Amino acid sequence: MNHTDNSPDKNAGKTKRKKLPPEAVRSCTVTTKMTAAERRKIHEMAGGCGLTPSDYMRHRALGYEPPSALTTEEKALLRNLDGCRLDILNFANALAGMGHDERIRLFQKVSFMLDWYKQVVPITNAVTEFINVVTSSGRIRIRTTRKNKDN
C-alpha cells in the first residue's frame, strides 16, 4: 500500500514516501448539517463498506457505489484460499524439484493422475466459484500480474 506524506518538512528524512502533486492532495472540506438519524445511517453504511464516513460520503458524492465489506464468512473463505494456495505451491515445488525424466514417469502413471485430478478439481472449482461470486458482487477487483502489451 502506498502512503503519502503531504505534511511540511517535520518528517523530512524519516520516511521515504512519495509526495503527491498539489492537485492530487485532498485539502478542501465540505461541511453539511444532518439529523442524528442521518448521521447514524451514514456511519452504518460506511462501516458496512469498510470505509470512514468521510470516504463513504466522498465516494457517493462523486457517483461511486462503494462495495460492501466482505462478510465474516467470506473473510474466512478468503483465508481458506491461502491454505489452498499453499497446497498448490507445495505440489508445484515438489514437481519442480524432480528431474525431467522422473516427472514424465510420474505423469505417465494413470492411477496417480486420476487420483490427483479427483483431489485438485474440487479445490480449483471452489476457488473459481468464490472468486466469481465476490468479483461479480463488486466486493473485490481482479488484479493480475500480467502486463498489458499495448502499454
pLDDT tens, residue by residue, 87-100: 778 888 888 899 99
Say which residue, 106 or 9, is predicted with more confidence: 106
Of 38, 53, 69, the domain-final residue: 69
Same domain, 82 and 110: yes
Same domain, 84 and 131: yes
Same domain, 106 and 129: yes
Q: Tell me if 124 is assigned to some domain.
A: yes
Of 47, 69, 91, the domain-final residue: 69
Number of structural domains found in the chain: 2
Same domain, 94 and 124: yes
Q: In whole angstroms, what is the distance from residue 19 CA to residue 133 CA?
A: 37
Q: In whole angstroms, what is the distance from residue 79 CA to residue 108 CA?
A: 34
Q: Tell me if 111 is assigned to some domain.
A: yes
For residue 4, the SS3 value is strand
Same domain, 57 and 112: no
Q: In whole angstroms, what is the distance from residue 53 CA to residue 43 CA?
A: 5
Instruction: Examine the pLDDT at 17 and tell me if it is beyond 70.
Output: yes
For residue 143, the SS3 value is coil
Q: In whole angstroms, what is the distance from residue 81 CA to residue 70 CA?
A: 14
Same domain, 82 and 132: yes
Same domain, 61 and 113: no
Which candidate, 91, 89, 81, places its Cα nearest to that of 131? 81
**∠ CA 1-39-68 to the nearest 5 degrees?**
40
Bridge partners, 18 (sequence order): 4
> For residues 139 and 68, is the Cβ–Cβ distance under 8 A?
yes
Lowest mean pLDDT among 1-10, 29-38, 74-83: 1-10
Same domain, 54 and 87: no
Would you state the pLDDT for residue 103? 87
pLDDT band at 149 (very low <50, low <70, confident <90, very high): very low
Lowest mean pLDDT among 66-70, 94-98, 147-151: 147-151
Residue range of the domain that includes 94: 72-136
Instruction: Examine the pLDDT at 38 and tell me if it is beyond 60.
Output: yes
Average pLDDT, the chain: 79
Of 36, 69, 102, the domain-final residue: 69
Bridge partners, 11 (sequence order): none
Same domain, 127 and 88: yes
Q: Which amino acid is at 40?
A: R
Virtual torsion, Cα 26, 8, 19, 58, nearest 10 deg: -10
Instruction: Examine the pLDDT at 127 and tell me if it is beyond 90.
Output: no
